[in-house]
Amino acid sequence: MFHVPGKYSGAQLSTHSWTQTLHELEVRVPLPHDLPPGAATCTFKPRHLHVAVDGAPPLSGELIEPLALDDCVWTVEREERAATLVATLRKAAPKVWPKLFTTDAEPEEPPKLLDGLEGRAEGGAKSKQQMLREAKARAAVDLAGPTKAKQHVVEGKAAETLLLAAADVPPLSVLVVRRCEGCTITLPAELSLIKLQLEGCTQCTVTVLAKLLTETLEVWESTALTVSLRSKCATVQVDACADLRLQYGKVDFFDRVMHTGPRALRLSFDDEPQLDCTLEMEQLAREQPEGFVLDEQTDQFITRRVRAADELTTELVIRLCNDFPTTEREAKEFEERTRLHADKLDEVVDGMLGSSLGKKLSEAEREQMKQMMQSQSEAASAAKQQAELTAEGRHQARVEFKKNEGNAAFKDGQYQQAAVYYTEALTLNDQQHALFSNRAACFLKLGRYAQAKEDAAACIQLAPTFSKGHFRLALAHQALDEFGEACAAFGKVLELDPSNKEALAGLNMARMQAERKRRQEAGQVAS
């Protein structure tokens, strides 16, 4: 799992270890270094993980929360004298898990944040390209570790014909082809890669016969590039490219292309040419609702075949307030399916558990299942409503969702978790003074007073008459022994809210502390 802000501790056990972010878990299972290929397997179910290794007890159990199965992957990383099965699990809902399996012992303390929050909201919103570059930089560092997949870079080639045989590329590498021009590159079938990245290439032809274990290709900022895909490549990510052609040997090798700002992106299929198409940013912009302005750096589209249609469908990717990516069509279809189920709750209850067993449920159990289905229906309806909002409305809904999640975490005493949510909200909108104020409150609780002072100052810069911002600034100054500044901030609170008793008490205390400090510095009171 690549390093991302907000990484949390999990557990280190004799049989496995795991860490997590809000959205993903990484489970690592050590293997014998000489374990033959195929002797270790990993399977996922919505709430179950099973790792089987020849000659060893399986790692298997019910997970405490459900997974998003489509985004769960696993691989085996091999070193000279070590091997590790690495499973990356996508959580169905973003939250911190206190433990992995339901049978695990309850932890003595909640998961700890392993990395800082600094800089998450500095400089305002970032473009997708900037965020991707930063993610790549973090990935490059992580990939250099002894237990991580290795990068193999082919860079700066010009007018060459390259056949990258297995002997030339370390096994299970992330192959990066960077800034090559006028080259013909072939990846033979004997090669096995984690994934393939093409970056900043011009007028090149790349033929992929190799096995891509994650079935993923990423193409960045390339021009006049032809990629012939002769093996399964389910997901292609395209960003800031022009005149890119993706040639699929079979339609079965294709699942989806995610693209941002396409310029003459051509898709062709040897066995089903009726699916061939060309994607242009200008055309996609014209197809959007009146008044909607596309941002070619951030707005992302997904192109795929929907229900074996005779043509591909391209849709704008939208993110619901919980960051779940979807499209307006999918949100509506999900709402319709769930509503139909909710309209026939009794039949659903019977059908879910088998008609004979379902009818044996007590009234309380049936009512509980009805409530569960009703909750799902309400969630689906909310998702549909969010999908129908304007882009600005969806963006604001995401900000409010993260703010509310932060408020709930703060109320539960989970101050680090709350700070993460507020930071994510600030990344989306750094003009809401209340977000800075709320995160300052988290930092005060966590004893991170310098950061609390910075956030409180940012808050009152946006809202000079917001008394809570001045109050939290005063508390931060006071904790940092900056008593003169604390007095001034408490005084400002009382100017805005004369009846604030906490501010009055704080002002009196800060004055006493300031006087004591003055005397100490003058040598009149022993330190």
What is the mean predicted confidence (pLDDT) over 339-357?
A: 53
- Region 458-467: what's the mean pLDDT? 94
The larger pLDDT score, comparing residue 520 to residue 487, is at 487
Give the residue with greater pLDDT, 427 vs 385: 427
pLDDT in tens, 215-257: 999 999 999 999 999 999 999 999 989 999 999 999 999 999 9
Structure confidence at residue 91 (pLDDT): 85
For residue 344, pLDDT over 60 is answered with no
Q: What pLDDT, on a 0 to 100 scale, did the predictor assign at position 128?
A: 46
H or E element, residue 178: strand 173-178
Burial class (CB in 10 A: 0-12, 13-18, 19+), 70: exposed
Which of 234-238, 278-282, 381-385 has the weakest average pLDDT? Answer: 381-385
Structure tokens at 420: 């993460």
The sign of the dihedral angle between the CA atoms of 347, 351, 355, 361 is negative
Q: Work out the average pLDDT over 3-27.
A: 78
Percent of the chain with pLDDT over 70: 76
- Higher-confidence position of 355 and 444: 444
Residue 272 pLDDT more than 50? Answer: yes
CA distance 159 to 181: 6
Which pLDDT score is estimated for 4?
37
User: DSSP 3-state assignment of 201?
Assistant: coil
Integer angstrom CA distances of residue 249 from 257, 268, 271, 274, 396: 15, 9, 7, 14, 43
CA atoms of 19 and 26, how far apart (whole Å): 5
Which comes out higher in pLDDT, residue 114 or 251?
Answer: 251
Phi and psi angles of residue 355, each rounded to the nearest 5 degrees, phi first: -60, -40
pLDDT at 461 over 90: yes
Tokens (6 digits) for 5: 């802000």
Instruction: Give 330's contacts (C-beta < 8 A, 6+ positions apart).
Output: 387
Most confident of 153-157, 262-266, 405-409: 153-157
For residue 2, the model assigns a pLDDT of: 31
With 0-12 / 13-18 / 19 or more C-beta atoms within 10 angstroms meaning exposed / middle / buried, residue 319 is: middle
Model confidence pLDDT, tens digit, residues 56-110? 888 999 999 888 877 778 888 877 677 888 888 888 777 888 899 988 888 877 7
Instruction: Flag whether pLDDT at 287 surpasses 50.
Output: yes
Average pLDDT, the chain: 81
Q: What is the pTM of this model?
A: 0.49
Mean pLDDT for 134-161 is 67
Dmax over CA atoms of the chain, in Å, equals 91
Residues contacting 320, CB < 8 A, separation 6+: 326, 331, 383, 386, 387, 394, 397, 398
CB 474, CB 500: distance < 8 Å: no
Burial grade of 396 (CB within 10 A; 0-12, 13-18, 19 or more):
middle
Between 331 and 141, the more confident residue is 331
Residue given tokens 């395209």 in the structure block = 238
Strands (E), 54-172: 56-62, 73-78, 83-90, 150-155, 161-163
The per-residue pLDDT for 112 is 75
Query: What's the rounded Cα separation, in Å, for the pair 418 and 289?
Result: 36
Provide the pLDDT for residue 299. Answer: 80
Q: What is the pLDDT of residues 155-204, one digit of tens each?
A: 999 999 999 988 888 888 899 999 999 999 999 999 999 999 999 999 99
From residue 464, give the alpha-carbon distance in Å to each of 461, 479, 493. Answer: 6, 22, 11
CA distance 140 to 449: 33
Report the pLDDT averaged over residues 330-347: 59
What is the average per-residue pLDDT within 466-471? Answer: 94
**CA–CA separation, 187 and 164 (whole Å):** 6
**Tokens 């999918």 — which residue?**
330
User: Of 130-144, 310-324, 339-353, which gets the smallest average pLDDT?
Assistant: 130-144
Q: Is the predicted pLDDT of residue 119 greater than 70, yes or no?
A: no
Mean pLDDT confidence for 470-489: 93
How many whole angstroms separate alpha carbon 413 and alpha carbon 145? Answer: 35
Measured distance CA(527)–CA(521) in Å, rounded: 9
Distance CA 113, CA 8 (A): 5
| Crossing angle between the packed helical segments 415-428 and 433-446, to the nearest 10 degrees | 150
CA atoms of 185 and 205, how far apart (whole Å): 6
The residue type of 191 is: L
Pinpoint the alpha helices (H) of 315-448.
328-343, 345-353, 355-358, 363-387, 391-411, 415-428, 433-446
Class of residue 338 by CB neighbours under 10 A (exposed 0-12, middle 13-18, buried 19+): buried
Asked whether residue 403 carries a pLDDT value surpassing 70, the answer given is yes
The mean-pLDDT minimum among 21-30, 307-316, 348-357 falls in 348-357
The stretch 264-278 carries a mean pLDDT of 93
Note whether 79 and 147 are within 8 A (CB).
Answer: yes
**Measuring CA to CA, which residue among 386, 390, 383 is closest to residue 289?**
390
For position 527, what pLDDT does the model report?
46
pLDDT of residue 111 exceeding 60? yes
The residue that leads in pLDDT, 292 or 343, is 292
**Mean per-residue pLDDT for 118-125?**
42
Percent of the chain at pLDDT > 90 equals 38
**Mean pLDDT in residue range 322-345:** 61
The DSSP bridge partners found for residue 216 are 235
Q: What is the pLDDT of residue 121?
A: 39
Q: Highest-confidence range of 6-20, 144-158, 270-284, by mean pLDDT? A: 270-284
The DSSP bridge partners found for residue 259 are 238, 301
